[in-house]
Amino acid sequence: MRFVDEYRGGEDAGRLLNAIRGVVTRPWVIMEICGGQTHTLIKAGIDRMLPEEITLVHGPGCPVCVTPMRLIDQAIAIARRPDVIFTSFGDMLRVPGSSADLLKVKSEGGDVRIVYSPLDAVKIAEANPGKQVVFFAVGFETTAPANAMAVWRAERAGVENFSVLCSHVLVPPAMEAILGAPDHRVQGFLAAGHVCTVMGYWEYEPLAERHRIPVIVTGFEPLDLIQGTYMAVAALEEGRHGVENQYSRSVTRDGNTAAQQLMAEVFEVTDREWRGIGIIPDSGYVLREKFVAFDASQRFDVADIEASESEECIAGLIMQGIEKPSSCPAFGTRCTPEKPLGAPMVSTEGACAAYYQYGRN
């Protein structure tokens, strides 16, 4: 398959791995930001093929994982209402709230539907004028344009029975928070190629400069990740810092400016709570005043719902690269995909799910 097979070839992988072995002289800790990258690394077995000097730690780029439990509980409260059709990306349905998940709400009679595009949720709203249709708008800068487009379209078309429960998060403030933690050990980043496809990479340049750290914009195929790792190791060994672009087939410095304009029209930046990590300043999006009528958390009066996390789950430490899933005492015993303590065990982008599914215990 074009644009896939070229980036999964065994021979090229071998060459790049040899190149890494050729440059590495001492231990380095590198964090891949995105959960999709984590899964590729583990699924293709790259973590086991790299020289032992290189430790990969797994970043917070799993939208399902960082969505606060309070918001999951709000989603559940809304989805339980008989007048609501609750729509979501499939990934969110298994994420544990305080006492249930959305799949359980569905089994109890809630009208919970998986959609692949938020625009489909708008269509469902148009087709069901007697119902309130809510879309669970989570994700990073990657999903934000489509979610912005859904709200923008609903506003233009006067689809008043549509709203979004919004929990958008942004990557650069999270990287800043990781590097600001006193016990952080990250020496280089593989930045999330899809986020950069939308946002470009200019906003990482000051961060790389300030922390004197290499940031390699990296794709999601096995060869992308091996090459990104090579670029990070080469930069570290040579004492270079700054932003480099491995994913040049998709990413430009400026990104997708049309998407950025739409996002800026619909959303404004706000402080945001990250599950397991806490509040990170200016790290999320909220609907602008003009679109606030489409905010489900206000429409359904769920803003007061509070929730507390499992005390045993160390997801926050894992997503900051301080711990690994396999070093969690609950991993695979008290925390499994069937009975998760935290979201990373059930999300298809969660680091714990990757370790569990592909046998890294």
Partner 1 sequence: MADDERPDLDAGMVCPIPISDYPTVQLAHGGGGRLSQMLIDDMFVAAFDNPTLAQLHDGAILGIKADRLAFSTDSYVVHPLFFPGGDIGSLAIHGTVNDVAMCGARPIAISAGFIIEEGLPMADLWRIVQSMRNAANQAGVPVVTGDTKVVDRGKGDGIYINTTGIGVIDRGIEISPQRARPGDLVLLSGAIAVHGITIMSVREGLEFETRLESDSAALHTLTAAVLERGGHDVHVLRDPTRGGVASALNEIAGQAGVGIKIDEEPIPIDEEVRGACEILGFDPLYVANEGKCIAIVARESADELLQTMRGHPLGARAAIVGEVVEEHPGKVFLRSRIGGLRVVDMLSGEQLPRIC
Query: How many residues bind to partner 1 according to rule CB under 8 A?
Result: 49
Query: Residue 138 interacts with partner 1 (CB under 8 A)?
Result: yes
If the CB atoms of residues 120 and 203 are measured against partner 1, the closer one turns out to be: 120
Least Cβ distance, residue 218 to partner 1 (angstroms) = 15
Query: Residue 190 interacts with partner 1 (CB under 8 A)?
Result: no
Measured between alpha carbons, how far apart are the two ends of the chain, in Å? 32
If the CB atoms of residues 190 and 213 are measured against partner 1, the closer one turns out to be: 190
| Nearest to 233, CA basis, from 189, 174, 196, 277 | 189
If the CB atoms of residues 116 and 158 are measured against partner 1, the closer one turns out to be: 116
Candidates 9, 27, 180, 281: give the one binding partner 1 (CB under 8 A).
9
Query: Residue 186 interacts with partner 1 (CB under 8 A)?
Result: no
Candidates 222, 255, 321, 325: give the one binding partner 1 (CB under 8 A).
222
| Nearest to 213, CA basis, from 241, 172, 243, 246 | 241
Q: Cα separation of 129 and 151, whole Å?
A: 16
Query: Residue 14 interacts with partner 1 (CB under 8 A)?
Result: yes
Return the bridge partners of 190, or none.
32, 216
If the CB atoms of residues 8 and 288 are measured against partner 1, the closer one turns out to be: 8
CA distances from 145 to 133, 262, 293 (A): 19, 7, 19
Binding piece for partner 1, criterion CB under 8 A, among 138-146, 178-186, 267-275, 312-320:
138-146
Locate 328 and state its tokens.
């969690």
Torsion of CA 215, 39, 116, 161, to 10 degrees: -70
**What sign does the dihedral 112-116-118-123 (CA atoms) show?**
negative
Query: What are the residues binding partner 1 (CB under 8 A)?
Result: 1, 4, 8-10, 13-14, 36, 42-46, 48-49, 63-64, 87, 89-94, 103, 113-116, 120, 124, 138-140, 142-143, 194, 222-223, 226, 336-338, 348-349, 356-359
